[in-house]
Each structure stands twice: as C-alpha cells, then as structure tokens.
Amino acid sequence: MASEPTAGNDGITLSETASAVIEAYERMEMPMSRYLLLIVLPSALFFLGTTTVALLVDLPLSVALPVPLLGCLVLGAAVVYPKLLVSQERVEMENQYHLLMTHMTVLSTTNIDRMEVFRKLGDEAEYGALATEMNRVVQLVDTWNQSLDDACRRRARRIPSDPLADFFERLAYTVSAGQELSEFLLSEQQVMIQNYVTMYESTLDNLEVMKDLYLSMVLSMTFALVFAIVLPILTGTNPSMTVGAVIVLYAFVQTGFFLVIRTMSPYDPIWYYPEDLRPDGEWSMIASLAVGTVLSVVLIALVVGDLFGTGPGLTDLLPVASIPRPFYVAIPVTPLAIPGVVFRVHEERIKARDDEFPSLIRALGASETAKQSTTTEVLKTLRRKDFGPLTDDVNDLFKRLNMRLQPDRAWDYFTANTRSYLIQKFSEMYLVGRQMGGEPKQLGELISENMNHVNQLRQQRQQATVTMIGLLYGITAASSFAFFIGFKIVDILAGMSLDLSTGSQFDAGQLIHTQVYDLPFIQFLLLGVVMINAVLSSLIIRTVDGGHKANALLHFVTLIWIGCVVAVLTMSVVGGLLDV
C-alpha cells in the first residue's frame, strides 16, 4: 500500500517536468518545430552514432563507455536547454523584482500618466528581463490598442516568474476596477517585500544545502586522492597517473559546485561602477592592484631562481639556508593580499554607508515636506547630524547643490563617491520622484523601508558567508593534512624499502613497489591541488558574499598559506614520529 502513493507522486513529478519543458519550448522566440529540426534532431542522431560506435567498434572499455555518455550529454543538453533559458529568465526577474516594484511605486506617486510609468521602466536597461516585460505591455497598449488590464493579463500568462505573474494579475483586476495605480502599488508594498524576502531567504537555505553537499563531495575526493597516493606502493601501478586523474576529477567537482553556487546565489550587488566619474579612493585601489601584481612577479622570479638556479633566489635574500618546498607556492602569492585588504576596507565602508542611508533619506523627505523647502535648504541643517561614514558625502552633496550645480550632476557625484549600488538606485528614484512632483515624505519613507529590508537580508547573507568561510578554511586544512600525511608515509616507506632490500634473504621490492614513485613530482601535484582548492574556494566565498571580485584575493592568499603551513607541519611531525 505504501508504494502506490510513491509511484503516483513520481508520475505527477514526471508529468509536471514534461509540462514545464513543453511550456519552455513554447516560450522560445524560435518556433518549436524549427528548434526540434535544427537542434534536437541532430543531437539525437549524434547520440545514435556514438552508441553505434561503442557497440560495433572494438574499443577498450575505458573508451567505449565515455563515447555514448558524450552523445547522451549532448542530447540531454539540447532537450533541456529551453528550460534552462526560462529558468535563467525567471531568476533574472526575481533578482530585480524589488527594485522595479519600488521604482514603479515611486513613479506612480508623481504627476505622470500610468502608461508613462511603464515606458520609463521599459527604458531602464539595467532591469533586464523585467524591462523587456514592461516594453511588451507598452507595445500591446500602443501598437495593438489593447487596454492596460488586458495587456497585463496577457503577459501574466507568459511570465515564468510566479510572483511577477501574480502581480500582473492583481494589477489587471485593480486597473479594470478603476483604482488608482499609486494606491494599488502602495498597498502592494508589503506583499512585494514579503515575496522578495521569501525568495532571498530560500536562496540562502539552498546555499546551506549546497554547503553540506560540497563538504561530503570534497571529503570523498580527499579520501580518493589519499588512496591514489598510498595504494600504488602495494599494487605497483603508476601513481602519477592515478593521482593526476583524481586531481582532474577533484577540480571538476569543485568547479561544478562553484558554478552551481554562482547560479543559486541571490543577485544583490554592493558596488556601484560609475561610467563617467572617477570616485574618491579609485586611485588607491588601482595602486594596490599594481603593487601587489609587481611584487608577486618579483617573488615568482626569485622562486624560479632558487628552484632552477637561473639567478638570485629567496635564500639569497633571507637569512635561511633552505625553504620548505610548499612555501615556494605560498610566498609568491602573498603580495596579492595587499589589494584584497584595500578593497575589503572600501567595501566595509560601502556597507556602513548603506546602513546609514535609510535614516538620511527618511529625514530628508520628512524635512522637505515639513519645511516646504528645497533639498539644499534641508541639507544645510541635516549635514550637521552624524550619519557615520555617510557624513562627508552629505556635506559634499550640500556644497555642490549650494554652488548651483545641476541637481542631477550633484547627486551623480554623491552616488559615485559612496560607491554603493543601492544608494545609487534609491537616490535616483528619490530625485526623479521629486522632480516629477512626488511628495518627499512619502518617497523617503517608501525608499527607507525597502532599503532597511535589503540591509536585514544582507545581514543574513553575511552570516551564511561567515559559515561558508569557516567550512572552506577547515576543509582546506583537513584536506592538506590528509594529502601530505599520505605523501610522507610513502616517502618514509620508500626509504625503509631501500634498507630492507640490502639483505640477501628478503627482497622488499616484491611487496613494496617504491620504484614506481616520482616523489618530487607527486609533491608538485599535491601543491597543485592546494592551489586549485584555494582558487575555487576563494571564488565560492566571493560569490556567496556578493562583494567585489578583488575580495577573493585575500581569501586566496589565506587559503594558500593554510594549505602550505599544514603541509609543512604534517610532513615534519609525521617524519619525526615515523622516520627511523
């Protein structure tokens, strides 16, 4: 009896999946028949060809198995590609959903026509797929003479995002009932915020699941690599080949998890990159990158001189006779921590400004409404208040406005110097709303409430990032310990076998195959694993954190040092305990 519901659920799941794939085919710009003819059919023929080759041609099993798997991969990719496109479009919509809804609400409270609201949102290329949907609504109204409610209903049936489709349905009903667009959007704010919070938190929960899967897979690959190091001493197989194969698989697994985490992470950029302005602190960041790169190149040259004797080396500059081999990997990359620290400091300032901005914009809106005065007059008083790291930027904004600089340009300098993506977007919304006749207090409260929710979600993301950092640092230390304890044991056994083989009555080579090992090359491969792990782990941390790409440099250097220090300590301790 218990198996029947399971079978039924499996049937429902398969039918839902098939329906979703078919629906994705219908959403494509290319007709379904043409896609099947030009893409799916050739992929199916390729799969049949690879299967035929595997069955009819006399090939080794190691070659015969991957050939049809390649054909199956190509066919599967061709079949599900439209579904992936729809999923990508849905994620893009939901990532920008809260910003577009806030922008729409701000515009609706001004003195412009409701269709002009859709037109202005359609012109915002930064909203991507959402801007495209706004333009499609405008086209249905302007070109096909449909009413706004009919156009919204028509697009609601085609939008892959459920929250946005529900919003369009409610909007169509409200418009047909005669309610003002501004009243509807203001009443929808809590629904919109709750939807965005739910989507954001669900992605963070998915990252927690991926973290557990990542831990399991990396530990499995670590054990596989240790076995690949140790077992050839008993079997006599080539350890360089087995270790190299496991390392390639290890890199593929970590790369796959990085790509999945990158896809699943919520889109919430911190940095704003102005196109025509040079923000304060820009040169310090550029200089840090240049200094870190030059120093790394110099250290790489010194390491090459030490290892190959082509010139002066590190031992010529340092008061040491020799340097452990793993440190030759860690030392050259150390200067890259300089730009990592500099960018990290700037990013922390941006986050601090984001925390203060809701208070500023709320006070600015309320004061403008109460005093019935201009932004310049209000800022004359507000700039005396303490807004933390935002205080200097508020002072600069007042000075530029007081010098009769164009308000648009003054706010451009303000947002550029804060370097904050959210401050730029919400400042632009406030400025446009004020210029079009919106009430300052209402605009300030609306923007402040939305940004406070985003800041709260960012705190949850920061907690997830700290957990991920601890996990990856711990995995790096544990993996390096396992790799090099296996390496050192093989190294010690190789030395012991040489002593044993000197006896005339016992040939240790029959039991311990040390002659197959190229120990310096194996150590080089293991240090390569440390490097690969540091690169991909630092990219994962940066993806989960959502900050600047240069932040990965600091984690990269730290992970390299953790792996190399653990390697040196492990080989030293194990050598001291087991070497006889």
Strand partners, 53: none
E-assigned strand segments in 310-421: none
- Bridge partners of 420? 271
Query: Tokens standing for 480?
Result: 């390096």
Binned at pLDDT 50, 70 and 90, residue 11 comes out as very low
Residue 447 vs residues 131, 172, 189, 199, 309: alpha-carbon distances, Å: 20, 25, 11, 20, 63
Nearest to 89 by CA among 153, 43, 24: 24
Taking residues 58-87, report their average pLDDT: 78
Q: pLDDT confidence of 9, banded at 50, 70, 90? A: very low
Per-residue pLDDT tens over the stretch 465-497:
999 999 999 999 999 999 999 898 888 877 765
- Give dist(CA 512, CA 509) in Å, integer: 5
pLDDT of residue 82: 86
Q: Are 77 and 164 part of one and the same domain?
A: no
- How far apart are the C-alpha atoms of 136 and 118, rounded to whole Å? 10
CA-to-CA separations, 411 to 63, 75, 127, 427, in angstroms, rounded = 63, 52, 21, 7
Q: What pLDDT is attached to residue 568?
A: 94
Q: Using the predicted structure, report yes or no on whether residue 109 has a pLDDT greater than 80.
A: yes
Q: Are residues 465 and 519 in the same domain?
A: yes
Residue 556, in any domain of the structure: yes
Of the ranges 58-67, 381-390, 548-557, the best mean pLDDT one: 548-557
- Residues 441 and 468 placed together within one structural domain of the fold: no
Q: For tokens 């140790």, name the residue.
A: 230
In the prediction, which pLDDT does 560 show? 97
What angle is formed at CA 331 by the lines to CA 328 and CA 334, rounded to 5 degrees? 150
Residues whose CB falls within 8 Å of the CB of residue 489, separated by 6 or more in sequence, listed in order: 230, 574, 578
Q: Write out the residue range of the structural domain in which residue 574 sits.
A: 200-268+290-338+458-578
Helix axes 189-230, 162-177, angle to 10 degrees: 170
320 and 447 in a single domain? The answer is: no
Tell me, yes or no, whether 215 and 187 share the same domain.
no
Q: What is the pLDDT of residues 322-359, one digit of tens each?
A: 889 999 999 999 999 999 999 999 999 999 999 999 99
- C-alpha distances in angstroms, 223 versus 8, 63, 368? 39, 26, 65
What pLDDT, on the 0 to 100 scale, is given for residue 405? 77
Whole-number mean pLDDT of the chain?
Answer: 86
Q: Is the pLDDT of residue 235 over 50?
A: yes
Helix (H) or strand (E) holding 438, with range, is none
Q: Which residue from 132, 167, 139 is spatially nearest to 153, judged by alpha carbons?
A: 167
Asked whether the predicted pLDDT for residue 8 surpasses 50, the reply is no
Tokens of 368: 């403008």
Nearest-CA neighbor of 515 among 534, 498, 530?
Answer: 498
| pLDDT at residue number 12 | 46
Stretch 34-44: mean pLDDT:
89
146's tokens: 């449909």
Instruction: Report the pLDDT averaged over residues 159-177.
Output: 89
For residue 428, being part of any structural domain is answered with yes
| Same structural domain, 511 and 568 | yes
Cα separation, 428 vs 436, whole angstroms: 12
For 238-252, the pLDDT digits (tens) are: 888 888 888 988 998
Q: In the prediction, which pLDDT does 1 show?
A: 39
Does one domain contain both 74 and 129? no
pLDDT of 369 strictly over 80: yes
What's the pLDDT score for residue 233?
81
Q: How many CB atoms lie within 10 A of CB 520?
A: 9
Q: What is the DSSP string of 446-468?
A: HHHHHHHHHHHHHHHHHHHHHHH
Q: Mean pLDDT: which of 93-97, 172-176, 208-212, 559-563 is highest? A: 559-563
Alpha-carbon distance of 374 to 284, in angstroms, equals: 36
DSSP H or E run through 556: helix 551-578
- Rounded Cα gap, residues 340 and 349, in angstroms: 14
Residue 2 confidence (pLDDT): 39
**What whole-number percentage of the chain has pLDDT above 90?**
43
Within-domain flag for 381: yes
Tens of pLDDT, residue by residue over 371-394, are: 888 888 999 888 888 898 999 999
What pLDDT, on a 0 to 100 scale, did the predictor assign at position 463? 94
Rounded to whole angstroms, the Cα distance separating 59 from 2 reads 45
Mean pLDDT within 534-560? 94
Instruction: Give the per-residue pLDDT at 431.
Output: 92
Asked if residue 150 has pLDDT above 70, the reply is: yes
Indicate if 494 and 560 belong to the same structural domain.
Answer: yes
234 and 120 in a single domain? The answer is no
Per the model's pLDDT, the better-predicted residue between 272 and 578 turns out to be 272
Whether the per-residue pLDDT at 508 is higher than 80: the answer is no
* Amino acid at site 220: S
Q: What is the mean pLDDT of residues 542-563?
A: 94
Does position 50 have pLDDT exceeding 80, yes or no? yes
Q: Is the pLDDT of residue 3 over 70?
A: no
| Phi-psi map region of 178: left, alpha, beta (phi>0 left; psi -120 to 50 alpha) | left
- The single-letter DSSP state of residue 311 is S
What is the band of 428 on the pLDDT scale with cuts at 50, 70, 90? very high
Residues 366, 428, single domain; the answer is yes
pLDDT band of 60, cuts 50, 70, 90: low
Q: Are 134 and 83 part of one and the same domain?
A: no
d(CA 293, CA 342): 14
74 assigned to some structural domain = yes
Q: Do the domain assignments include residue 6?
A: no
pLDDT (tens digit per residue) in 293-310: 999 999 999 998 888 877
pLDDT of residue 579: 58
Residue recorded with tokens 């198995």: 65
- Whether 273 maps to a domain, the answer reads no
Assess whether 49 and 102 both reside in one domain: no
| Residue 25 clears pLDDT 90, i.e. is over it | no
Rounded alpha-carbon distances, angstroms, from residue 329 to 299, 300, 485:
10, 9, 19
pLDDT at 416 over 80: yes
| pLDDT tens-digit series, residues 437-452 | 889 999 999 999 999 9
Confidence of residue 105 (pLDDT cuts 50, 70, 90): very high
End-to-end CA distance of the chain: 65
What is the average per-residue pLDDT within 491-510?
A: 58
Token pair, residue 96, equals: 């920008």
Q: Check residue 510 and give its pLDDT.
A: 55
What number of residues does the chain have? 580
Is residue 54, in this structure, part of any structural domain at all? yes
The predicted pLDDT at position 341 comes to 95
Q: Is the pLDDT of residue 120 over 60?
A: yes
Asked which of 147, 179, 197 is the last residue of a domain, the reply is 197
- At residue 27, does pLDDT exceed 80? no
Find the range with the poorest average confidence among 85-99, 447-461, 469-483.
Answer: 85-99
284 within domain boundaries = no
Q: Which of 72, 88, 104 is the last residue of a domain?
A: 88
Least confident window among 311-320, 401-410, 414-423, 434-443? 311-320
pLDDT at residue 153 tops 80? yes
Specify the 3-state DSSP secondary structure of 522.
helix
- pLDDT at position 6: 41
Say if CB 450 and CB 343 are below 8 A apart. no
* 515/224: higher pLDDT: 224
Mean pLDDT across the stretch 174-200? 88
C-alpha to C-alpha distance for 488 and 519, rounded to whole angstroms? 10
Q: Note the pLDDT of residue 62.
A: 52
User: Tokens 């599967």 identify what position?
Assistant: 76
Spatial contact of 409 and 431, defined as CB atoms under 8 Å apart: no
Cβ 550 vs Cβ 286: under 8 Å: no
Backbone angles phi, psi at 271, to 5 degrees: -90, 145
pLDDT at 16: 67
pLDDT score at 452:
93
Last residue of a domain, which of 455, 474, 509?
455
Calpha distance 417→430 (Å, rounded): 18
Domain count, the chain: 4
Based on its alpha-carbon atoms, the radius of gyration of the chain, rounded to whole angstroms, reads 31
Whole-prediction pTM value?
0.85
Among 567, 551, 558, which residue's Cα sits nearest to residue 333?
558
